[in-house]
A and B are shown apart, each in its own frame.
Chain A
Amino acid sequence: MSRKQEETARVAGQEQLAEGIFSLLLETSLADSARPGQFVNLYCGDRSRLLPRPISICEAGDGRLRLVYRTVGEGTREFAALRPGDEVRILGCLGNGYDLEAAAGRHVVVTGGGLGVPPMLFTARLLWERMERHDALAPAGLTVVPGYRDRQTVFLDREFEGYGRVLYASDDGSIGTKGTVTDVIRAQTDDAEVIYACGPLPMLRSLAGFAEEKRGAGLNITCYVSLEERMACGIGTCLGCVVKTTEVDAHSRVHNARICTEGPVFDSRQIVW
């Protein structure tokens, strides 16, 4: 795993994608070591907001990180006001990221729900590029399933076009198929062997259940879920962001894995749902 670094990043651009959803482009040396499913800590300039904001990596490359986030409070509103040339303190890259090698030769579904959609762009692109260049680790097939509440909350949707088969899900059917991402995966894919997922807990729980059901029917399927929790340090010291695990984890010696360090990505079988 690459070394974590704290540095000052330069804002290369920022655009609003939807109501309360922003895309921030940062020039930072962290971009080159970023892996899909990892996150960074952004620090507020206002020191009265002292905890870093963990934000998933939406895209990385050419010395730039793209972060797509929602403004939920004063801290993220401060980020939304950043303009090209501004500076922001950043720590990364954090967490384990998705095990993309597990995709080799298998049929893969990449799915994100709501604010879980952004990290799936980086994930889908890397998998697709491996397929295009017939890499030994390339998946046998790729289906991308972005899920949204409704047409008003859609963002990044068009950016998935070109990365394999793209199936949209929305709660009200105003974009793609009406239903959850699990409904779409169940009804419209019959060959998923590896699922990479990020999104709200009920979505991840339902996908974990889907994978369990398929395994019960004799299929070899692995479901990787990216979890979130309120964090403080982001590097594994404060033990703020733990999740209950089925096995005693090596670090804690209790049933608590650190989402920031052992995660945020877990095999769904590791988690107590």
Chain B
Amino acid sequence: MSERMEVTVAGVTLKNPVMSASGTFGNGQEYAEFFDLAKLGAVVTKGVSLTPWEGNPTPRVAETPSGMLNAIGLQNPGIDVFIERELPKLREVREAGTRIIVNVCGHSVEEYVGVIRRLADEPVDLLEINVSCPNVKEGAIAFGQDPEMLRDVTKACKNAAKQPVIMKLTPNVTDIRVLARAAEEGGADAVSLINTLTGMKIDVERRKFLLANRTGGLSGPAIHPVAVRMVYEAAHAVRIPVIGMGGIASGTDAIEMMLAGAAAVAVGTATLHEPAAMPRIIGEMEAYLDRHGIASVRELIGAVG
């Protein structure tokens, strides 16, 4: 792949702007059966916490028009198993130039910091701090909804981290610009958005909630216009790079997100509909550059207006 697809986020160069969205891609291995993971700009892992987390009761997922709700609750085997079992499987992909971004979750500042410290000397290029999961009762989203708390948790993460830090923001706020600025003030190297929008679905025939957790996070093409708007707002509020995500299912969607101001993009729910969605999207983005005679995808970042 030529340099024209390269982008740089937080000082780290990606071979192309497309990465997996945390939680929709496991740690990549299941999808290696469908395409070469080295085609991606980066693999973003499933959120990992200090100890194993059980997650929420089932049902955990429900389909909605052009979208879905999930309330997995960040089930994961914990940082020890992640380092021993999952990270080594990504070594080859990393050696092929695909960046590894570990998504970190916690119930408290201490837990985030604990995970970050464990990753200090591991083959990891960037950290993405999940302060935006709507499905976990303590921590997570609370840190992402209050600017002061977000600034403090960002500082603590930055102090502990060897790798550059991306703060993953929630759209479930009144003004995303305030939160993006708080992350920047805390020292974040980049922000990524949007995590899912809190939603609810009721089975009308049975008069019951479809998700055992009652609420869940809405993702998929249904949220794409909201994501584009918020990426635009955040990109105009901060100087650090913005990674855009939310309902991207095509090269056109990805280009749109970059025009709004994203330096890179993540693809999540589309992968559930089509395992090899990401390599297709990368191909469509290249075709767009060809069609418009654009020398570098970097020219598109924030180029609308």
Contact = CB atoms under 8 A, between A and B. Distances in A.
Interface of A: 3-4, 6, 43, 47-52, 75, 91, 229-233, 235-243, 251-256
Contact of B24 (A3, A48, A236, A238): A238
A124 B13 CA distance: 56
Given A6-B274, A50-B63, A239-B46, 19 more contacts: A4-B33, A6-B34, A6-B276, A50-B68, A50-B220, A50-B270, A51-B61, A52-B273, A232-B272, A233-B272, A237-B26, A238-B24, A238-B72, A239-B60, A239-B75, A240-B72, A251-B77, A253-B52, A256-B54
Interface residues of chain B: helix, strand, loop or mixed (majority): loop
Interface string B118-138: 000000000000000000000
A259 to B, nearest CB: 9
B55 interface: yes
Contact of A51 (B23, B63, B81): B63
B31 interface: yes
Contacts of A256: 54-55, 75
A40 to B, nearest CB: 13
Given A51-B63, A242-B58, A232 B68 contact: yes
Most B CB within 10 A of own CB, among A230, A237, A255: A237
Interface residues of chain A: helix, strand, loop or mixed (majority): loop
B78 interface: yes
B63 A242 contact: no
A256 B25 CA distance: 18
Contacts of B26: 236-238
B54 A50 contact: no
Interface string B6-49: 00000000000000000111100011011000000000001000
Given A236-B30, A256-B75, A231 B61 contact: yes
Interface size class of B (residues with CB under 8 A): 35 or more
Contact of A43 (B23, B55, B65, B273): B273
Contacts of A237: 24-26, 30-31, 46
17 contacts: A6-B34, A47-B249, A50-B273, A51-B273, A52-B272, A229-B59, A232-B61, A232-B70, A232-B272, A233-B30, A237-B25, A242-B60, A242-B75, A254-B52, A254-B54, A254-B55, A256-B75
B72 A239 contact: yes
B174 interface: no
Contacts, number: 109
B241 interface: no
B98 interface: no
Contacts of B30: 233, 235-237
Contacts of B46: 237, 239
Nearest to B67: A50
B209 interface: no
Interface in B78-95: 78, 81
Nearest to A73: B63
A116 B61 CA distance: 22
Contacts of A233: 24, 30, 271-272
A240 B276 contact: no
Interface in B235-266: 249
